[in-house]
């Protein structure tokens, strides 16, 4: 990847050096993967591609020849009039943070093709070296994009978009960099005229739920609504709950006073304060989440309600860390989230 954009090259032995040529055909923002090759007999290959507006396809190609689509996943929403753009926000320490904007194409590439100030949904993760690459999401497409919303994916530090160094840049005491990156993207969206703070919703799950909790308590003025799914929120006790101890290398150990000194500065549960301009928030969790204990969401909900904030809560009784055990439950949760965002942002 180059700036979170997939690039495929063909390397051919030549004298005195190998010859490098780009593989033609893929769309600019498609995420690509070489599925297989036939190295012993010919130059054929199988390649997969998908994008925010294109379902995954599997194609058969040959170096120097044509590429034919073998299979294509079904499309679930009409992409006419939509476009994808990429921008960069500048974080507090000067780091350029890439993000993708998907939405109505009004022809203004400088504003992400969505210079309308309309409702936008921003998401991110920023942890465990997981890269957020372009991917087709039929639920978000049909339930948000097709109804005029803009969808934004932030490639903040802590992920793997630029390799291990991007991940290490937000480990432990440097975790705050991931939060600063996400806030910088939110500000950049407003500066470009893509949306406004009161119409900007955010959504994240698991480690992304921690991100949402920090945005709620540290940057409330930037957002109009927050959705935190199966969230990690109490950084004082997270190592005592389920799989928590396995994440010490990522976050630090709250039982070590040196680590708690920085963890307490952003731990959402410990940083709820009265009289702050917190936007409406929806927590989604599962009674049977065996990774992030539902106690995180339960306690955060209770504390926010104690201070009179607009907080909503849904706990599914099964489903594990995905919070849904089947498609019907997943559809219910998706509908709850999208309806919550629509009511709060439009």
Q: Which residues does the annotation mark as catalytic?
A: 206, 321
- Please name the residue that has the structure tokens 């594990």: 320
Two tokens at 9? 């090259």
Task: Say how far apart CA 183 and CA 278 lie, in whole Å.
Answer: 15
Locus of tokens 């948000």? 144
Of the CA atoms within 13 Å of residue 266, those in its CB half-sphere come to 22
Structure tokens of 337? 């989230």
User: What is the DSSP track for 200-269?
Assistant: EEEEEETHHHHHHHHHHHH-GGG-SEEEEES----TTTGGGSGGGGGGHHHH--TTSHHHHHHHHHH-TG
C-alpha dihedral (214, 219, 221, 224), degrees to nearest 10: -30
Rounded Cα–Cα distance for residues 172 and 247 (Å): 10
In sequence order, what DSSP letters do the residues of 30-69 get, joined into one string? -EEEEEEE-TTT-SEEEEEEEETTEEEEEEEEETTS-EEE
CB 134 within 8 A of CB 101: no
């Amino acid at each position: 990847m180059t700036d979170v954009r997939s690039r495929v090259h063909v390397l051919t032995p030549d004298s005195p050096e190998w010859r490098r040529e780009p593989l033609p055909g893929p769309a600019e923002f498609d995420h690509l993967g070489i599925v297989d090759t036939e190295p012993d007999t010919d130059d054929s290959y199988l390649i997969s591609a998908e994008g925010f507006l294109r379902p995954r396809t599997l194609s058969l190609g040959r170096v120097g020849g044509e590429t034919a689509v073998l299979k294509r996943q079904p499309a679930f929403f009409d992409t006419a009039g939509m476009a994808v753009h990429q921008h960069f926000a500048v974080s507090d320490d000067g780091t350029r943070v890439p993000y993708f904007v998907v939405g109505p194409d009004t022809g203004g590439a400088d504003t992400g093709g969505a210079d309308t100030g309309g409702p936008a949904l921003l998401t991110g993760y920023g942890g465990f070296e997981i890269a957020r690459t372009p991917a087709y999401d039929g639920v978000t497409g049909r339930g948000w994009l097709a109804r005029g919303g803009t969808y934004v994916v932030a490639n903040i530090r802590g992920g793997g978009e630029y390799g291990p160094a991007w991940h290490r840049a937000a480990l432990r005491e440097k975790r705050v960099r991931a939060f600063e990156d996400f806030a910088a993207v939110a500000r950049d969206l407003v500066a470009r005229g893509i949306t406004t703070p009161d119409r900007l919703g955010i959504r994240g799950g698991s480690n992304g739920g921690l991100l949402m909790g920090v945005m709620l308590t540290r940057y409330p003025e930037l957002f109009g609504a927050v959705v935190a799914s199966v969230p990690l929120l109490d950084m004082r006790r997270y190592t005592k709950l389920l799989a928590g101890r396995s994440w010490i290398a990522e976050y630090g150990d709250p039982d070590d006073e040196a680590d708690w000194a920085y963890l307490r500065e952003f731990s959402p549960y410990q940083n709820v304060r009265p009289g702050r301009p917190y936007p409406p928030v929806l927590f989604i969790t599962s009674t049977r989440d065996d990774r992030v204990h539902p106690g995180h969401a339960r306690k955060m909900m209770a504390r926010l309600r104690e201070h009179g904030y607009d907080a909503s809560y849904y706990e599914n009784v099964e489903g594990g860390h995905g919070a849904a055990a089947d498609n019907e439950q997943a559809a219910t949760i998706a509908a709850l989230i999208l309806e919550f965002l629509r009511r709060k942002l439009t």
